[in-house]
Chains A and B, each alone.
Chain A
Amino acid sequence: MTIETFTGAKALLQKTELLFEYGSVDKTGIDTAKPEGLADSLGGLKRKAKPKLPALTEPEAMRHYIRLSQRNYAIDLGMFPLGSCTMKHNPRLNEAMARLPGFSDIHPLQPQSTVQGALELINSLSDWLLKLTGMKAVAMSPKAGAHGELCGMLAIRAALDARGLQARKKVLVPKSAHGTNPATAAQAGFEVVEVAQTADGRVDVDDFKAKITEDTAACMITNPNTCGLFEHQIKEIADLIHAAGGYFYCDGANFNAIVGKVRVADLGVDAMHINLHKTFSTPHGGGGPGSGPVVLSAALAPFAPVPWVVNDGDGFKLIEHKEGEASQAFGRMVAFQGQMGMYVRALSYMMSHGADGLKQVSEDAVLNANYILASLKDVMTPAFDGYCMHEALFDDEFLEGTGVTTLDFAKAMIDEGFHPMTMYFPLVVHGAMLIEPTETESKHTLDDFIKSMRGLAEAAKSNDKSRFDHAPHLAPSKRLDETLAARKPILKMAD
């Protein structure tokens, strides 16, 4: 039986009113010292109208956010197999380290003699990233993956310009690429040329070759690619682009599959961003903050943006201006040194694992993905033959004729207690379902997941549509009307 409660609360699921509906502008959740009443120095620019910002006192605020929190799925709650996002366990040691006052309570522009430990940490993290990839230099400051892509592409632009090749504007990007790749290329002033894909889910090298012209500046290739496969012709691709005088940007979003197993430098890469919030376990935080350092080849290293850290024997120094050894730097991307809070977490994670642990990370990530692929391939349809790297990709062929779509299937997974996989990406696979378990799932959890996925696949095929229609049924909210939200945008609470 369904009971309508008098307030709308449902046991553990409490009401979640907007704070503007019950907060008050007449109260505050903080106590301050009393102002002295000095004459102001505002030159007549005192705020005229109140901002209409209500407050909640501390107990009310605590409840407001805890109630909201209970409507979120999270890694700490269950498996979050979101392909290309690497939702792995976020160790709490990292959080504790990032909150040491020596890291969290220091200003980016303090005299460098007062932040030697912070510069040492950045230097140490740089050293790990360089050793893990075999690359020549690293630009630490980019604030997320897409920002790292931009950094790499701007370094490529600067390197081409330095060679007098200003006219080179074309960037080859495979059709299966993540949307940030073409968006970044455009933002850096390049033009995108799409490259076809082969039937086995890799870059079509013949098409790649055919599309190289004297205008070609670079290629942007994700490896392992967005289909969860390693581009086994990667060295041929690198050789082709280099022979044409261009550069190889590698999207390192999927580094988790190969960290500690492969030297990126040996693949012919010129620039690759590393998402610290994927491979190196810094929390995703509901959509950031991230951090996207970019490792660079010798050809691109002189063009890295400022700032960077050097150790000149007399302590650590920040190179902050475009002069001296940084005279070819392409500029500065951000106000300060980048995502220090993320650096601390990532280094804490790397040190915990060690070189041996990181190798085990990629092996277990790939093992878990292949275990899922092997356990589901008889009831779902893998998009490609063979083994995968760290994520398993299925298409929606197994749903054909059932009336159930990839979206319905994903929403039914919510009822099963799992976060859905990435769906409809990559675009080159029809009804794509991209599953990335990561290495931090136990076999016990994977077996539960497989049980649910098999059950759903069989239910779809046996016409048991009730679990899919209007799913999810058991989530805190029912399916939301995205069309209404886009047609009549309401982006804030009305005054």
Chain B
Amino acid sequence: MTVKFTQEHEWIKIEGDVASFGITAYAAEQLGDVVYVELPEVGKTIKTGDAVAVVESVKAASDVYAPVSGEVVEANDELSASPEKVSEDAEGAGWFAKIKLSDASELDGLMDEAAYKAFLESL
């Protein structure tokens, strides 16, 4: 199991050919209390960089971009009733969806944890 990060502050956890993703703890903190999450539709084919989800706080709304290409196989429906999970546990219970990867080589372009930390410090 590996975890990677994007410059758009998403994390992606790879287990076999399926990857779950969400927004990083840093992103969640910047956003403030999350009040609503719009999740991608299960079955939808997505491309890296597509806006696939929306996360909202009281005063802000941000698009969440697909970190990799593939098919959405599961969405975290619990976030509809309990969006606060994103604020409380962004990189755990606050996951958004699972994607069946169509091109595993895309993962090579993403950051590992150390690289993401360095990236945050550079901001």
Q: Which residues of A contact B58 (CB under 8 A)?
A: 482-483, 486
Chain B nearest CB: distance from A489 CB in Å?
A: 9
> Taking the complex as formed, is B83 at the interface, i.e. its CB lies under 8 A from any CB of chain A?
yes
Contacts of B57 in A (CB 8 A): 483
Minimum Cβ distance to chain A for residue B56 (Å): 8
**A34 interface residue, CB < 8 Å from B?**
no
A48 at the A/B interface (Cβ < 8 Å)? no
The docked-state distance in angstroms from the alpha carbon of A424 to that of B36 is 22
In the complex, A487 has a CB within 8 A of chain B: yes
Please classify the interface of chain A as helix (H, G, I), strand (E, B), loop, or mixed, using the class held by over half of its residues.
helix
Q: Which residue, B36, B57, B58, has most C-beta atoms of chain A within 10 A?
A: B58
In this assembly, does B35 line the interface, its C-beta being within 8 Å of a C-beta of chain A? Answer: yes
CA distance A486 to B33 in the complex (A): 10
> What is the bound-complex CA distance between A486 and B56, given in angstroms?
10
Q: How far is the CB of A330 from chain B (nearest CB, A)?
A: 31
- The 0/1 profile, CB within 8 Å of B marked 1, for residues 473-495 of chain A is 00000000011001100000000
Q: Check if B84 is an interface residue, CB within 8 A of chain A.
A: yes
Which A residues are CB-close (under 8 A) to B35? 483, 486-487
Residues of B near A483 (CB, < 8 A) are: 33, 35, 57-58
Bound CA–CA A79/B58 (angstroms): 27
Per the CB 8 Å criterion, the residue count for chain B at the interface is 9
CA distance A482 to B36 in the complex (A): 13
Taken together as a complex, chains A and B put the C-alpha atoms of A424 and B58 apart, in Å, by: 14
Least CB distance, B119 to chain A, in whole angstroms = 22
A483 to B31 CA separation, bound complex (whole angstroms): 12
Count how many chain A residues have C-beta atoms less than 8 Å from C-beta atoms of the other chain: 5
Query: Closest CB of chain A to B70's CB: distance in Å?
Result: 29
The smallest C-beta distance from B15 to any residue of chain A, in angstroms, reads 30
Interface 1/0 per residue, B23-57 and A, CB below 8 Å:
00000000001011000000000000000000011
Chain A residues contacting B33 (CB-CB under 8 Å) are: 483
Contacts of A424 in B (CB 8 A): 59
In the bound complex, residues from chain B placing their C-beta under 8 Å from that of A487 are: 35-36, 83-84
List residues of chain B with CB within 8 A of the CB of A482: 58
CB distance from A487 to the nearest CB of B (A): 5
| Docked pose: A486 CA to B60 CA in angstroms | 12
| CB closest residue in chain A, given B82 | A487
Q: How many Å lie between the Cα of A487 and that of B84 in the bound state?
A: 8
- Docked complex Cα distance between A331 and B35 (Å): 40
Q: Give residues 50-88 of B contacting A (CB, 8 Å).
A: 56-59, 83-84
Closest A residue by C-beta to B33: A483
Task: Report the Cα distance A485→B39, complex, angstroms.
Answer: 21
- Cα–Cα, bound, A237→B42 (Å): 48
- Please give me the residue from chain A that is nearest to B35 by CB atom: A486
Residues of A within 8 A of B56 (CB): 486
- Residues 79 to 122 of chain B near chain A (Cβ within 8 Å): 83-84
Residue of B nearest to A487 (CB): B35
- Interface flags for A450-485 (1: CB within 8 Å of B; 0: not) read 000000000000000000000000000000001100
Measured between C-beta atoms, what is the minimum distance from A432 to chain B in Å? 13
Q: Which residues on A sit within 8 Å (CB–CB) of B83?
A: 487
| B84 / chain A contacts, CB cutoff of 8 Å | 487
User: When chains A and B are docked, how far (Å) is the Cα of A487 from the Cα of B33?
Assistant: 9
Chain B residue with Cβ nearest A486: B35
Bound-state CA distance A487–B34 (Å) is: 8
A79 to chain B, nearest CB (A): 25
Nearest residue, chain A, Cβ from B84 = A487
B31 to chain A, nearest CB (A): 12
Shortest CB distance B58–A (Å): 5
Measured between beta carbons, the chain B residues less than 8 angstroms from A486 are: 35-36, 56, 58
With most chain B CB atoms within 10 A of its CB, the pick from A424, A482, A483 is: A483
A482's closest neighbor in chain B, by CB?
Answer: B58
A408 to chain B, nearest CB (A): 15
Tell me the chain A residues, 368-426 only, with Cβ under 8 Å from chain B.
424
Least Cβ–Cβ distance between A55 and chain B, in angstroms: 35
The distance in angstroms between the C-alpha atoms of A432 and B83, with both chains bound, is 29
Residue of A nearest to B87 (CB): A483
- Rounded to whole angstroms, the CA-CA distance of A429 and B35 in the bound complex is 26
B86 CB → nearest A CB, Å: 11
Residues in chain A near residue B36, CB distance under 8 A:
486-487
A487 to B55, CA, bound (A): 12
**B-contacting residues, A187-220, CB 8 Å:** none
Closest CB in chain A relative to B26 CB, distance in Å: 19
Bound complex: CA A424 to CA B32 (Å): 15
Compute how far the CA of A486 lies from the CA of B55 in the bound complex, rounded to whole angstroms. Answer: 13
> What residues of chain A lie closer than 8 Å to B59, measured between beta carbons?
424
Minimal Cβ-Cβ distance residue in A for B56:
A486
Q: How far is the CB of B48 from chain A (nearest CB, A)?
A: 22
Q: What are 14 A-B pairs with beta-carbon distances under 8 A?
A: A424-B59, A482-B58, A483-B33, A483-B35, A483-B57, A483-B58, A486-B35, A486-B36, A486-B56, A486-B58, A487-B35, A487-B36, A487-B83, A487-B84
Please name the 10 residue pairs, one residue from A and one from B, whose CB atoms are nearest each other, closest first.
A486-B35, A483-B33, A482-B58, A487-B35, A486-B58, A483-B58, A483-B35, A487-B83, A486-B36, A487-B84
The residues of B with any CB-CB pair to A shorter than 8 Å are 33, 35-36, 56-59, 83-84
Known: A486-B58, A487-B84. 4 other contacts (CB 8 A): A424-B59, A483-B33, A483-B58, A486-B56
